[in-house]
Amino acid sequence: MNMEKNGFMARPIRLEFSNGLYHVMSRGNGGEAIFAEDEDRQQFLDLLAELITRYEAICYAYCLMDNYYHLLLETPKANLSQIMRGLNGRYTRFFNKTRQRMGHVFQGRYKAIIVQKDNYLLELSRYIIFNPVRAGIIDVPENYSWSSYSATIGQYACPDWLAADNLLSLFDHRRKEAIRLYKVYVSQGVDQPFSGKVLQQTYLGDNAFIGEIQKHISLQQSNSIHITKRSKKSPKKSMDEIAAGITDRGEAMNAIYKTGHYTMFEIAAYFNVHYSTVSRSIRSFCKMQ
């Protein structure tokens, strides 16, 4: 998955979901450096910390290179564009002001790939922190100061806004053992190519995941048309109405999904669970029928 080469080309569609996981990238205008000094990198991380906290997002990993950066972000409140507008916009103002210059710092808009969390969260966290290794800057990721890896494995204090514990908990409930296992996992990625394939510069996931996203898009477009044209059909029932009287959460999820009006992402946001929880529940009901 050569994202450095292919990830900054034509502008893809923008997708925002509650609890969406995104691999976010942005490159310097014309390939120019966006981080010339450590002060620049620290300012960027300070802005990222502020915005992650304000918008209640989750940052699993980051890596700052000279002329591009990578982030792995989850947005419980479907607000990626707000975060990125603040991040790139405010950093541009800082960069230009400190150098008494004007103009673009970043090459167009940021690139955001929506990711199937269950399949690719760990692998992407590893892919991102290996950027300086692939670039030949260092031999091992723990020797690079401007990625999330050192904080994740406890080489220095982990900031509150970095979700290191979320990653480590996937290996073991004991922090020390989880760090050991994560370090082993990372070391195994030295010569291992990324297993996923990004489709349409937008999706990283299996066919069912991509199909659900595309259904979500279609429903959004359909709802927009209905709002403007005022369909003569009976109004769509709210999820509250459909779930009323159904005590089993899985049964309620299935009932809402069967109407065809709501995607798994919307149902997940309604029940405040992850998309995969809804997907598993609906699959189990389908097998029972």
The string of pLDDT tens digits covering residues 168-183 is 999 999 999 999 999 9
pLDDT confidence of residue 270: 84
Q: Is the pLDDT of residue 62 over 90?
A: yes
Mean pLDDT lowest for which of 37-46, 105-114, 164-173, 263-272?
A: 263-272
pLDDT confidence of residue 231: 42
pLDDT confidence of residue 194: 84
The domains of the chain, with CATH numbers, are: 3-204 (3.30.70.1290), 207-288 (no CATH)
pLDDT confidence of residue 128: 97
pLDDT confidence of residue 223: 58
CB atoms inside a 10 Å sphere around CB 88: 19
Mean pLDDT along residues 137-157: 96
Mean pLDDT lowest for which of 85-89, 157-161, 191-195, 237-241?
A: 191-195
Mean pLDDT lowest for which of 129-138, 175-184, 187-196?
A: 187-196
Which own/partner contact pairs does 158-167 have at CB distance under 8 Å and 24+ positions apart?
Answer: 159/49, 160/53, 161/48, 161/49, 161/52, 161/53, 161/59, 162/59, 162/60, 162/62, 163/58, 163/59, 163/60, 163/74, 166/58, 166/60, 167/60, 167/61, 167/121, 167/122, 167/125
Give the residue with greater pLDDT, 219 vs 20.
Answer: 20
- d(C-alpha 151, C-alpha 132), whole Å: 16
**Burial track 197-231 (b if 16+ CB lie within 10 A, e otherwise):** ebeebbbbbeeebbebbeebeebeeeeeeeeeeee
pLDDT confidence of residue 228: 44
Give the residue with greater pLDDT, 16 vs 85.
Answer: 85
Q: Is the pLDDT of residue 212 over 90?
A: no
The string of pLDDT tens digits covering residues 220-232 is 666 554 444 444 4
Q: Is the pLDDT of residue 150 over 80?
A: yes
Q: If we measure between CA atoms, which residue out of 126, 118, 107, 106 comes closest to residue 1?
A: 126
Mean pLDDT lowest for which of 120-129, 204-213, 239-248?
A: 239-248
CA 52, 55, 57, 63 torsion-angle sign: negative
